[in-house]
Amino acid sequence: MSNAPIYLHLATLTAPKTSLNAQGEIVYAILKDEASTEVFFTLLENQGGSGYFGREIIPFANIEACLNGVDLKQTIPAKRFLKAFTASRSVNNGGFLCACLRHQGLLKPAPESPQQHVIGDDWAAWKAKMLETQSDKVYITPDAEKPAKAEPASSKASDKKEKKQAKAKKEVAIPVGTEGDGNVDPA
């Protein structure tokens, strides 16, 4: 029997990145636990970019804790949210999470510096709304221990060649018309 927590899937959404020079969007999911006591975020995909990020399940409490001791009338940098991640240490995590929080209205762009953030909507009300959201869809976690990597726009030719060779080794060609006779030599 597994002791892995069970998460209920509330939504999978796509948020625009917050950096002025960033391209693409961040795909993320909002989850909750079975008892409806905690909300979670998880980053799923970096569309249109090549940056690493962590796929771990982030409790909303970890995100809220990032603001402890912060003057909420001041701007908040994305790096403030790096502490929400416990397994992955990618420098992109904070910015990508901020994109998700902005998408939910929890953060807004700072008027004097759009790459910085200010507090948006009521976090407690948002959390309560998420916990009230009904779902019977169980979220199956991907490998959360390894950081996710989007495929770079231009990778080394040798990397592509190695991947192609590795894939070719896994595939066995079977001549047409001999699929079921048992006399095919896959070598």
- What's the pLDDT at 143? 53
3-class secondary-structure state, position 40: strand
- What's the pLDDT at 5? 86
- Which long-range contacts (C-beta less than 8 Å, at least 24 apart) are formed by 74-79? 75/110, 75/112, 75/113, 75/116, 75/117, 75/118, 76/107, 76/110, 76/116, 76/117, 76/118, 76/119, 77/116, 77/117, 78/18, 78/115, 78/117
Average pLDDT of the chain is 80
Reported as a pLDDT band with limits 50, 70 and 90, residue 51 is confident
- What's the pLDDT at 140? 80
- What's the pLDDT at 20? 80
3-class secondary-structure state, position 44: strand
Tell me the mean pLDDT in the region 29-37: 96
C-alpha to C-alpha distance for 80 and 60, rounded to whole angstroms? 14
Tell me the mean pLDDT in the region 55-78: 95
- What's the pLDDT at 167? 40
DSSP state of 140: P
pLDDT tens-digit map of 103-152: 999 999 999 888 899 999 999 999 999 999 999 899 987 654 444 444 44
pLDDT tops 90 at residue 182 = no
- What's the pLDDT at 155? 42
Tell me the mean pLDDT in the region 61-79: 94
pLDDT tops 90 at residue 163 = no
- What's the pLDDT at 142? 63
C-alpha to C-alpha distance for 56 and 175, rounded to whole angstroms? 44
What percentage of the chain has pLDDT greater than the value 90? 61
